[in-house]
């Protein structure tokens, strides 16, 4: 459930996590899920489905997005910009960004864009989940995009493991020498709280991650 606390802003749940007040109701769990799925699909894959113009950085006008949702789904006639801002600000993965009257997804795109995301504060090591069958091939030939335009890397071993569980129960986690890659001239961008983007990772910067070492490094703080 999406709500707004007058003192502490937007939150998901029944009560404000700071003061415990119920706040103002904005959106049910079902509405939050459906609108969130529409946002993900539209901003990552098919803006043309809703007749939206997307600029080269992936932004679309918020009001045009809202108009399109209400046009194709009249049940959401109540939707306003603050509902979208609340969804963006409370998204647990930080998948979206708003700027003035524009919104965009920050990763997961299957369309060609120039996102221009921040490139500072990159961890020395990042992680990528794969399968046992694919691991040796990647370690030999390097890591390249598959169904997305950029390679998506995770901040920690556990983040990568959780992402990899979508494909297999026992993902193999590869470690990326991010410092070395950047030193060689490659660019890594910060896309979300735990997601980083790179065009490709040459084999020289890849190795199999040791779980305990990765966990220990993450606990030292970044």
Per-residue pLDDT at 99: 87
Query: Contacts by 130-137 with C-beta closer than 8 Å and gap 24+?
Result: 130/164, 130/171, 130/172, 130/173, 130/174, 131/167, 131/168, 131/171, 131/172, 132/170, 132/172, 134/172, 135/172, 135/174, 135/208
The answer to whether 41 and 18 have CB atoms below 8 angstroms apart is no
Query: Contacts by 2-6 with C-beta closer than 8 Å and gap 24+?
Result: 2/26, 2/27, 2/28, 2/31, 2/32, 2/83, 2/86, 2/87, 2/90, 4/82, 4/86
Per-residue pLDDT at 167: 84
Q: Can you read off the two tokens belonging to residue 129?
A: 């989940």
Q: How long a stretch of residues is the chain? A: 222
Residues of the chain with CATH 1.10.10.970: 2-105
Backbone angles phi, psi at 11, to 5 degrees: -155, 160
Per-residue pLDDT at 222: 40
Q: Give, as one character, the DSSP assignment of residue 76.
A: G
Q: What angle do CA 99, 92, 95 make, to 5 degrees?
A: 40
Q: How far is CA 123 from CA 55, 79, 96, 107, 127, in A?
A: 29, 38, 21, 18, 10
Cβ atoms within 10 A of the Cβ of 91, count?
Answer: 18
Q: Can you read off the two tokens belonging to residue 150?
A: 């950029």
CA dist., res. 23 & res. 188, Å (int): 39
Cβ neighbors of 120 (< 8 A, separation 6 or more) are 190
The answer to whether 177 and 78 have CB atoms below 8 angstroms apart is no
Residues of the chain with CATH 3.20.170.30: 125-219
Per-residue pLDDT at 153: 97
Per-residue pLDDT at 147: 82
Longest CA pairwise span in the chain (Å)? 55
Per-residue pLDDT at 166: 85
Low-confidence ranges of the chain (pLDDT < 70): 212-222
125-219 has CATH 3.30.1330.10 classification: no
2-105 has CATH 3.90.730.10 classification: no
The answer to whether 87 and 26 have CB atoms below 8 angstroms apart is no
């Amino acid at each position: 459930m999406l709500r707004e606390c007058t003192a502490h802003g937007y939150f998901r749940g029944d009560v404000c996590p700071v003061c415990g007040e119920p706040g103002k109701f904005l959106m049910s769990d079902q509405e939050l899920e459906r609108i969130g799925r529409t946002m993900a699909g539209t901003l990552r894959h098919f803006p043309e489905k809703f007749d939206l113009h997307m600029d080269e950085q992936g932004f679309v006008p918020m009001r045009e997005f809202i108009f399109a949702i209400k046009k194709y789904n009249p049940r959401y006639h109540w939707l306003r910009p603050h509902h979208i801002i609340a969804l963006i600000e409370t998204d647990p993965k930080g998948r979206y960004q708003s700027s003035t009257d524009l919104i965009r997804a920050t990763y997961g795109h299957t369309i060609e864009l120039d996102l221009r995301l921040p490139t500072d504060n990159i961890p020395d090591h990042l992680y990528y989940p794969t399968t046992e069958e694919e691991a040796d091939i990647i370690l030999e030939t390097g890591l390249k995009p598959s169904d997305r335009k950029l390679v998506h890397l995770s901040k920690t071993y556990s983040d990568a493991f959780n992402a990899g569980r979508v494909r297999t129960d026992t993902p193999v986690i590869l470690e990326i020498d991010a410092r070395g890659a950047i030193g060689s001239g490659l660019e890594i961008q910060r896309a979300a709280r735990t997601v980083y983007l790179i065009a490709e990772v040459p084999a020289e910067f890849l190795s199999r991650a040791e779980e305990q070492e990765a966990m220990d490094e993450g606990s030292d703080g970044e």
